[in-house]
Amino acid sequence: MNVQATSKRPNGGRASLKTLITVGALAATALGWLLFGKPDSAEGSSTAPTEATLPPGWAELLAPLPTLVPPGVAMVGPSAPATQPALRRVSLPAPAPKPVTITRSSRRK
């Protein structure tokens, strides 16, 4: 009996702790929904983050990431760039050709 009573005591404390954590998590979740689940307030609200309030460069960082699209498949949707990238013709300077002849002051050789 003593053995059983002794063995049940820690189990009861662990269950209470689990219950406490569960209740706490639910409460935090409910509070979160209450706080952030409301629709955005009217324009000019100090709590609504806008692009103007973000540090420079953050808007680009938070923009949707582009998805790789196989060649030949047209992209649709907001992530499609306005102009499709195209291969650019790059002209490297051609090596100077060998002269056909050389002009010099008149001579036999």
Partner 1 sequence: MIVHRFEFEAMGSRILAVVDGLDRRAEARLAEVPGWFETWEDCLSRFRPESELSRLNRSAGKDVSVSGVLWDVLAVAFEAAQSTGGLVQPTILEALQTAGYDRTWESMGSRVAEGAARVAPPVQDWRLVERNPHTRSVRLPAGTSLDLGGFGKGWAADKAARRLGTAGPALVDAGGDIAVSGPREDGQPWPIGVADPGKDGETIALLSIRSGGVATSGRDYKRWRQGEVWRHHLIDPRTGQPAETDILATTVVAPSARAAEAAAKAVLILGSRDGLRWLEAHQRLAGLAALESGRVVFSRRMTSYLWSGS
Q: Could you list the residues that contact partner 1 (CB under 8 A)?
A: 93-109
Report the distance separating Cα 15 and Cα 71, nearest Å.
57
Tell me the closest approach of the beta carbon of residue 101 to partner 1, in angstroms: 4
Tell me the closest approach of the beta carbon of residue 108 to partner 1, in angstroms: 6
Tell me the closest approach of the beta carbon of residue 87 to partner 1, in angstroms: 24
Name the residue nearer to partner 1 (CB basis): 89 or 107.
Answer: 107
Name the residue nearer to partner 1 (CB basis): 82 or 94.
Answer: 94
Contact present, 48 and 41 (Cβ < 8 Å)? yes
Contact present, 51 and 59 (Cβ < 8 Å)? yes
Could you tell me which residues come within 8 angstroms of residue 74 by beta carbon, excluding any fewer than 6 positions away?
Answer: 80
Name the residue nearer to partner 1 (CB basis): 57 or 95.
Answer: 95
Name the residue nearer to partner 1 (CB basis): 74 or 94.
Answer: 94
Tell me the closest approach of the beta carbon of residue 107 to partner 1, in angstroms: 5
Contact present, 75 and 81 (Cβ < 8 Å)? yes
Vertex 20 angle, CA 14 and 23, to 5°: 140
